[in-house]
Amino acid sequence: MMQKLLFTICLSTAGFAAQAQVDTVRATTLPPAQVAEKYYNSGVAKFNQKSYQAALQDFDQAIKTKADFGKAYYNRAATRYELKQYGPAVQDYNQAIQLEPTSFTAWYGRAQAKQALGENDGAEQDYGKTAELKPDYAPAWYYRGDLRFEKGDYQAALADFTAAIKADPKYAYAYHDRGSAQRQLGNYAAAVQDYSEALRLQPELEVALLNRAAAKRRQNDAKGALADYNAYLGHHTDNPVAYLGRGQARFEAGDYKAAADDFSKALELKPGYALALNNRAAAKLKLEDFKGAEADATAAIQQNAQYAEAYLNRGHIREMLRNPAGACADWRKAADLGIEAGKSYAAASGCE
Amino acid sequence: MISVPTPAFRAVKITTSKWPRSLGAFLAALLLAYSASAQNQNIEFTKDQFNGDKEGLKTALKEIKLGNEWYDTDPPRYEQALPHYLAAQQFNPNNALLNFRIGACYLGSGGLKAKSLPYLQKAQQLNPQVDERLHYLLGRALHLNAKWTEAIAEYKAAQPPAGLKDANARQNDINKKIAECQSGMALQKNAARVFIDNVGPNVNSSAADYGPVITADESVMLFTSRRQGGVGDDKDPETGGYFEDIWQSVRNADGTWQQARNLGTNVNTKGHDAVVALAPDGQRLITYVEDGAGDLHEASLKGAEWKKPQQLGRRINGGQSHEPSAAYTPNGRMLYFVSNGSPKSNRGGHDIWRIDIEGRGDAENLGPVINTPFNEDGIFVHPDGKTIYFSSEGHNSMGGYDIFKSEWKNGQWTKPENLGWPINTPDDDVFFVLSASGRHGYYSSTREEDGLGSRDIYQITFLGPEKPPVLSGEDQLLASRAAPLRETLLAPPVAIASAQVTILKGTVTDADSKQPIEATIDLVDNSLAQTIASFTSNAQSGRYLVSLPSGTNYGIVVRKEGYLFHSENFDLPQGAAYSEVVKDIPLKKLDVGAKVVLNNIFFDFDKATLRKESTAELQRLVQLMTTEYPSLRIEISGHTDNVGKAEYNKDLSQRRAKAVVDYLTGKGVAAARLTSAGYGDTQPVATNNTKEGRQLNRRTEFKVLSK
């Protein structure tokens, strides 16, 4: 279709339509000026060299020259996406979709751009359309699954991840995220299994170790969890989140001293890490270092004035520091911030 | 009259029958024991040992004698014996028997039992055989210091000698003590979350203060004290301390207690007066008075004044029985009390009973869930009316009395629950009351770290079950967020043929008539010297168009019979960009004087050497001269641009023209038909001021000299 079109343009532009018979066969394959295509191809080359700004200018020229150049709109959208110009990217994808409504890639691209804009509902729909146009394109299912996961619709997310795995049985990310959906649904054994499969398919996807550890913790498999954290930390000693996780596992295993050490390590890597401060406060409470615990909880609250858990914990700490007024105020604040237990703690402790 | 110990001080009785009773026997024991002078060896109180200090020895022996007098009474007066023994100990701390006795005195005295341990350990070190009761007393001392495992070991070593009359009783006692240690170990592991605070010097004195009772709202506390300044401001000749009196303190709004004041002569007598219970509303109180075997009396408050307590009557107080404790129910109708006297009680020791004060019926034993074969005491009924707190030597006590809690649920008492460590200790823990809120309890205890002397009243703050701290986690649950992948699906480049093609187009005309000519256009690959394709220009318009894919050095020859051929060169390297070239070609008739530029003859740079790409053009010339026009005479001329010296340019152009001529003669063209000429830069066809112009000026031409 396109080829024929080009041929026609070529003849009319060159002005040989009438004399085609004398211009030999070779002449019939001749292209038109193809200025738009030249710009377009130059844009593609520049895009591939990551010269996005220059690529953008080329695609601009291509579109200027040829207003119905669908691929140019599409690629300009992709370029704008790279330049984080998500709004204009969506505009271009709109044009591309209008010109080529069955191009699944345009739907997919627009989904990504909408997602980047935070228009998750629109993105979800576009991923859905992509999956409809091309059911064997696993990323469409996968990313829709992620959006549904983030909405808290874990069951629907689970179904999408399963569809992604069906489309691409070696899709480690889809296994990983399905593991997470299982975990959110309370199916820890299934979660552990999916994380393990993700790791088997893609051993470098080590975030799966951390998540598998967390799932094992919820299975009360402290030993297994610690093994995963240790495996992860054997490779990455610079991730405060991993130390935070292992600290939790150690805490749950009753090893408060080692837990506090891990939280300290997390804080070394990420000074002012509010979660680590809060957790270390909890460990110090257990270790009966009440003053140190209070200082940590206070520091966590300084980092995040809405940190309900830190208020709750500081309430416990202040109770032990014989500061009932302070404890009551903290429990109440925790309750105000959404931890209901704060109220009952205050009531049980005779707060007035 | 005051021969029965006061409620709080029913100390564990230590059997002394096997111990030396007299000074003579004691001295004999001292002499019999082996003597040694080295440290940690037993040193006797003898002249041999203390030759240089006869006075000191004499004084020490005197103190021992005085101590023994108290020690050997029945029952022994350990508290009175102790200061004498300690004085002798100052003189000689390394006597096994003295150390043993000091340990025994501490164990037998009111609040300092735990202090016995170092003396008994020393005694064992100096002489393991100092007394057959050593293991048992060491077990007690270790037990009281909460050294559970060591205590169990000593108890196990304290097997009573065979044939003793009370061997069974002793064995049972040892078994119970071992069980207590096991309970203690378990309870200590799961300590109760409490703060225990001394209620302060406004309530507590340096003397013994104990037996606190409170109103439900904790606004008033009554307690018993053996301090100086009471109504019976005199010392009890039996026990040495001041007589007991009941005192009262009122709580301030900030939670502190006001200075205690004596309850006055209506309630307190010259003898022992101890408070037992206070109604939740504070309007009635029960006292313990040592009349007969010890009975309960009740007083009521009229305005600010307590009326004189009245005996509670025979339904409660047995003639020969001991009633040391009682508690009101919240509605005031029922009274719980402790008695050892009812023939209906088959559970041994003191039990807890309940009676309808206003009714006529008999008291009711609380039954086997609460009452054990051992003693119960210190009953307290919580203002909720269904929870009782009491002390017991049975159940899972960790030693002596422990405080227990039980609830009336579904028509029965729940299994008593030990309030646990650190409220309960291996020693006696009796008399516990609890505020209506359940937040605070009060009891008396001997605690070295914050005591004000002897027993003191403490407030227990119950923290309730442990409040679990909440940890925060951070998870990256989505792989695409944790390790984002770029998945841009860029549309691929479109196929553009133009990028590789040069379009050459134009019109072929007769140079003279300007009429279009149908000419043949040969496309020659110069490097291969081959004609790739041939086209024809349109007969009517003379138009032609050829497409030249990049990557070839093209020679284009436009030819027609009777015309001089036209030669064009397009060297299009691989990847040459698309371009369109319009080239109108006027073909000249093959007439004398006609000239054509040989665009496809190439020389090496600055040389007259023909390059191989020239072959096709040269062969065309050969064909022209041999086949087509065998009589044609031509001139081959070389031309240059004006760069460089004129002579040099002329010479180079001459040599290059000659090279072409030489080629032709070499191919059989008669030299006579060929002329060569080098014109240098003298015949430019274009300006020399531009690169393009100079290019045109560098050329090889041929001119028809004759046909």
List domains and CATH numbers for chain B. 7-190 (1.25.40.10), 195-462 (2.120.10.30), 497-589 (2.60.40.2190), 592-707 (3.30.1330.60)
Are B26 and B97 in contact by the 8 Å Cβ rule? The answer is yes
What is the residue whose two structure tokens read 């240059």? Answer: B640
ipTM: 0.81
Are B251 and B202 in contact by the 8 Å Cβ rule? The answer is no
pLDDT band at A54 (very low <50, low <70, confident <90, very high): very high
Are B61 and B69 in contact by the 8 Å Cβ rule? The answer is no
Q: Mutating which of B496, B537, B543, B581 best tests the A interface, going by the most A Cβ atoms within 10 A?
A: B496
d(CA B542, CA A283): 96
Residues present in chain A in total: 352
Ranges in chain B, pLDDT < 50: 1-25, 27-38, 497-499
Q: Which residues of chain B neighbour A126 with C-beta distances below 8 Å?
A: none
Q: What is the DSSP string of A131-168?
A: HHH-TT-HHHHHHHHHHHHHTT-HHHHHHHHHHHHHH-
pLDDT digits (tens, 9 = 90+) for A249-270: 999 999 999 999 999 999 999 9
What is the residue whose two structure tokens read 């007394």? Answer: B131
d(CA B569, CA B90): 130
Q: How many angstroms separate the CA of residue A128 from the nearest CA in chain B?
A: 17
Question: pLDDT exceeding 70 applies to what percent of chain A?
Answer: 90
Q: Phi then psi for A216, rounded to 5 degrees?
A: -65, -35
Contact B464 A74 (CB under 8 A): no
Q: What is the pLDDT of residue A173?
A: 96
Rg of chain A over Cα atoms, rounded to whole angstroms, equals 29
d(CA A250, CA A226): 8
Q: What is the pLDDT of residue A250?
A: 96
Q: What is the pLDDT of residue B685?
A: 87
B548 touches chain A (CB under 8 A): no
d(CA B444, CA B432): 8
Contact A142 B470 (CB under 8 A): no
**Helix/strand/coil (H/E/C) assignment for every residue in A59-80:** HHHHHHHCCCCHHHHHHHHHHH
Instruction: Give the amino acid at B358.
Output: E
Please give the angle made by the CA atoms of B162, B166 and B170, to the nearest 5 degrees: 85
Average the pLDDT over A207-213 and give the result. 96
The 3-state DSSP class for residue A207 equals helix
Are B676 and B636 in contact by the 8 Å Cβ rule? The answer is yes
Are A312 and A341 in contact by the 8 Å Cβ rule? The answer is yes
pLDDT digits (tens, 9 = 90+) for A95-129: 999 999 998 999 999 999 999 999 999 999 999 99
Average the pLDDT over A85-92 and give the result. 96
What is the residue whose two structure tokens read 């304290």? Answer: B158
Residue-wise burial string across A217-239, b where 16 or more C-beta atoms lie within 10 A, e elsewhere:
beeebbebbbbbbeebbeeeeeb
Which of B469, B485, B543 shows the shortest C-beta gap to A316?
B469
Are B466 and B457 in contact by the 8 Å Cβ rule? The answer is no
pTM above 0.80, yes or no: no
Contact B496 A281 (CB under 8 A): no
Angle between helices A308-320 and A324-336 in degrees, nearest 10: 160
Strands B376-381 and B387-392 turn out to be: antiparallel
Strand order from edge to edge, sheet including B566-572: B530-536, B520-525, B552-559, B566-572
Contact A339 B470 (CB under 8 A): yes
Contact residues for B537 (Cβ-Cβ < 8 A; gap 6+): A22, B507, B508, B516, B517, B518, B519, B521, B543, B544, B558
Q: Mutating which of B474, B521, B582 best tests the A interface, going by the most A Cβ atoms within 10 A?
A: B474
Closest CA to B569 of B607, B608, B522: B522
Q: Which residues of chain B neighbour A34 with C-beta distances below 8 Å?
A: 496-498, 578
pLDDT digits (tens, 9 = 90+) for A306-324: 999 999 999 999 999 999 9
Which of B483, B493, B543 shows the shortest C-beta gap to A205?
B483
Strands B412-413 and B633-639 turn out to be: unpaired
The 3-state DSSP class for residue B678 equals strand
Q: Which residues of chain A neighbour B533 with C-beta distances below 8 Å?
A: 24, 26
Q: What is the pLDDT of residue A20?
A: 26
Q: Does the N-terminal peptide bond of residue B422 adopt cis geometry, omega within 30 degrees of 0?
A: yes
Q: What is the pLDDT of residue B23?
A: 46
Q: Which residues of chain B neighbour A208 with C-beta distances below 8 Å?
A: 479
**Residue in chain B lying closest to A208 (CA):** B479
Q: Which two tokens stand for residue A224?
A: 């297994």
Q: Phi then psi for B145, rounded to 5 degrees?
A: -95, 10
- Selected residues 451-490 of chain B with any CB under 8 Å from a CB in chain A: 463-464, 467, 469-483, 485, 487-490
Q: What is the pLDDT of residue A154?
A: 97
d(CA B1, CA A271): 75
Strand partners, B390: B404
Q: What is the DSSP string of A302-315?
A: HH-TT-HHHHHHHH
Are B63 and B23 in contact by the 8 Å Cβ rule? The answer is no
Angle between helices A274-286 and A290-303 in degrees, nearest 10: 160
**Residue in chain B lying closest to A10 (CA):** B498
Contact residues for B346 (Cβ-Cβ < 8 A; gap 6+): none
Terminus-to-terminus CA distance in chain B, angstroms?
173
Q: What is the pLDDT of residue A3?
A: 36
Contact A71 B472 (CB under 8 A): no
Residue B307 DSSP symbol: P
Q: Which two tokens stand for residue A207?
A: 């975030």
Residue B339 DSSP symbol: E
- How far is C-alpha B459 from the chain's CA centre? 32
Q: Which two tokens stand for residue A181?
A: 């959906």
Which of B473, B490, B545 shows the shortest C-beta gap to A16?
B545
Residues present in chain B in total: 707
Q: How many angstroms separate the CA of residue B96 from the nearest CA in chain A?
A: 42
Q: What is the pLDDT of residue A28?
A: 27
Are A181 and A145 in contact by the 8 Å Cβ rule? The answer is yes
Q: What is the pLDDT of residue B348?
A: 63
Closest CA to B559 of B580, B534, B529: B534
d(CA A51, CA A61): 16
Contact residues for A178 (Cβ-Cβ < 8 A; gap 6+): A145, A158, A161, A162, A165, A194
Q: State the CB neighbour count (10 A cutoff) for residue A164.
A: 27
Contact A210 B476 (CB under 8 A): yes
Which of B463, B489, B545 shows the shortest C-beta gap to A319?
B463
**Helix/strand/coil (H/E/C) assignment for every residue in B502-553:** EEEEEEEEECCCCCECCCEEEEEECCCCEEEEEEECCCCCCEEEEEEECCEE
Contact A278 B543 (CB under 8 A): no
| Residue B297 host element (H or E) | strand B295-302
Are B321 and B311 in contact by the 8 Å Cβ rule? The answer is no
Q: Which residues of chain B neighbour A251 with C-beta distances below 8 Å?
A: 471
**Residue in chain A lying closest to B461 (CA):** A349
Strands B563-564 and B543-549 turn out to be: unpaired
Residue A284 DSSP symbol: H
The 3-state DSSP class for residue A92 equals helix
d(CA A321, CA A310): 16
Sketch the domain layout of chain A as residue ranges. Answer: 306-352
Are B639 and B679 in contact by the 8 Å Cβ rule? The answer is yes
Q: Largest Cα–Cα distance in chain B?
A: 173
Contact B546 A31 (CB under 8 A): no
Which of B478, B496, B497 shows the shortest C-beta gap to A29?
B497
Contact B478 A177 (CB under 8 A): yes
Contact A207 B543 (CB under 8 A): no
In terms of Cβ atoms closer than 10 Å to its own Cβ (0-12, 13-18, 19+), residue B647 is exposed
Q: Does the N-terminal peptide bond of residue B309 adopt cis geometry, omega within 30 degrees of 0?
A: no
What is the residue whose two structure tokens read 């309430």? Answer: A315
